[in-house]
Structure 1
């Protein structure tokens, strides 16, 4: 059990690192190109793992499921995150991401036909109030860029919520590794198409740190975190594992303060705490 919990904690820590790298990579690469490069590398790794496990990837037979998951979880979620991180801090983006469990909660009755308990809805309302405080509590005056950044992170939460719920639905027929590899392929393809005519070569400013961040987000924040999370869920069970996703905003804030010297206002911190508490109540 302790090993399973440790794996869950490691997974959320690695995912939090994606937000930190996103801040470093914001000035280095356009969001769509960054997402394309990241997931192209991750796709190759996932395909290699499929080959090692002697598994087939039904890209044609299951194209609809892979396309939908690729659009939501690979293209939309990641690209929106990188767009948001260009104008808001990693700490703030991480705290807004506490809304992910709430998005999952909202979509569950529609796609899975599962009933949600009143306590969970209460947690959702608390979390939404926390997000409102969080968005209003950033230091300094709001700019158009920061408002767009917040909106992008909120939309990414919606995309990941739909991805998670549909992934659970499709997971009855497709194993997790195959599903992730297929989604990564179509998501990378969509990201590459979005780069056509929109990426200016003059906007590319790669540095040694940026290259290290590319390696990190393509391996540790994608493949390694994915396997750590799934291994942890297998050991402790899905029900007990669910609340641990709420560690993501906690790690993001800590890493943002320690590595990026980000400052957090009192109102922002209060909003983040309320959001996380609401998400935990909804997840229990």
Structure 2
């Protein structure tokens, strides 16, 4: 029974990570009502950094070779740095439901990125799924109506697309690092370097804390810094260490479903019938991109990805 339960831990960890990430869209909407996006991002990273200091004994920074720091730097640049910047601005202009739906295209971006970077052959259905999903995102954005919670959904959805490109870079890089480093080490470096990255940007922006602080916004930032920036990344990095990258990214399909549900229940958001049709188009594209034979999945999951890219070894 122990072995059976242990084998489920990576899957449960990935499910937990997706649930927390889906809820982050709602929490971010609460936070940016009272605070600027950059202030929210910095506080989120700073809180996560403080939480991770309590686990410093489990972090293996001293064991990281100097030649691996470039890989870590790119990982952190993609996520949290670029992803949080794009996502914070995205949720300033679009709804949590639409942002969550756009998240579902990450598996397709990962497949395309694997082809471009590592020349991993992708079947034609993956490319068909890519075109279908992108078309769905375009339809979702073009048919969006400006509301109080989504004043410029087209711009917001563009920022969210850029955030998902950053997430793709993170996934492709993290898979290579997870074979050598613990989830605590990866999560800690993301939080600490992210805090250092955002601090001077915050100072240069001249952002200040509002005089009237809303309790809901403060609680949202605390939730983002602990449950999401700490808990979700810890769960995801653990799952990614035991599950193939393509399979792990497929769990991202849970995010739009949960995000739309939370957006409706918590924020009273709603989509038009045409937007729901666009959502179905996006999910259909993702489903198409993941239809591979069991042999292909086995072969892809059996190949160990080197820590250093091939062009650096030559």
Tell me the TM-score normalized by structure 2. Answer: 0.80
- Aligned partners of 2:107 and 2:246 also within 8 Å: no
Other-structure match for 2:50:
44
Deviation at 1:243, TM superposition (A): 2.0
SS of 1:27's equivalent? helix
How many angstroms apart in 2 are the aligned matches of 1:191 and 1:205? 24
1:247 equivalent among 246, 254, 257: 254
1:127-182 residue CA offsets vs partner (Å, 9 max, x unmatched) = 111111111121359x9843322221111011111121122234444443322322
Q: CA distance change for structure 1 residues 184 and 252 in 2, over 3 Å: closer, same or farther?
A: same
Q: CA–CA distance in 1 between the matches of 2:176 and 2:240?
A: 17
Are the equivalent residues in 2 in contact too, given 1:11–1:226 (CA < 8 A)?
yes
The partner residue of 2:60 within 48, 55, 61 is 55
- Matched residue of 1:115: which SS? coil
Q: Tell me the alpha carbon deviations over residues 16-75 of structure 1, each in whole angstroms, 9 at most, x when there is no partner.
A: 110001111112221112111111121232343241x26335689344223222221111
> RCO higher in 1 or 2 (8 Å CA, sep ≥ 6)?
1
* Partner residue in 2 for 1:148: 155
Alignment of 1:28-107 (within 5 A): 28-51=34-57, 53=58, 55-57=60-62, 61=66, 62-107=68-113
Change (3 A) 1:230 1:59: closer
Runs of 5+ unmatched residues, structure 2: 1-6, 292-314
Give the aligned partner of residue 199 of structure 2.
192
Q: Which residue is 2:279 aligned to?
A: 272
1:57–1:182 Cα contact (<8 Å) kept: no
1:124 — aligned with what? 130
Separation in structure 1 between the aligned mates of residue 38 and residue 283 of structure 2, nearest angstrom? 29
CA distance in 2, matches of 1:261, 1:185: 35
Counterpart Cα distance in 2 of 1:59 and 1:96: 35
Aligned partners of 1:139 and 1:271: how far apart in 2?
Answer: 14
Q: Structure 1: where are the runs of 5+ without partners?
A: none
Aligned residues: 283
- 1:70-125 per-position Cα deviation (integer Å, ceiling 9, x unaligned): 22111110121111111211011111222222222222123333222222222211
Task: Please tell me whether the aligned partners of residues 50 and 56 of structure 1 are also in contact (alpha carbons under 8 angstroms).
Answer: no
Q: For residues 288 and 53 of structure 2, what CA distance do their matches in structure 1 show?
A: 37
Alpha-carbon separation, structure 2, partners of 1:202 and 1:40: 15
Alignment of 1:194-273 (within 5 A): 194-201=201-208, 206-232=213-239, 240-273=247-280
State the superposition RMSD in angstroms.
2.7
The 3-state SS of whatever aligns with 2:165 is: helix
Q: How far has the Cα of 1:241 moved from its partner?
A: 3.8
Structure (1 or 2) with the larger CA radius of gyration: 2
Q: 1:169 to 1:60 in 2, by over 3 A?
A: closer
Q: Tell me how far apart the structure 2 counterparts of residues 100 and 27 of structure 1 sit (CA, whole Å).
A: 27
Counterpart check, 1:138 vs 2:138? no
CA contact (8 A) 1:43 1:185 kept: yes
Tell me by how many angstroms 1:249 deviates: 0.9
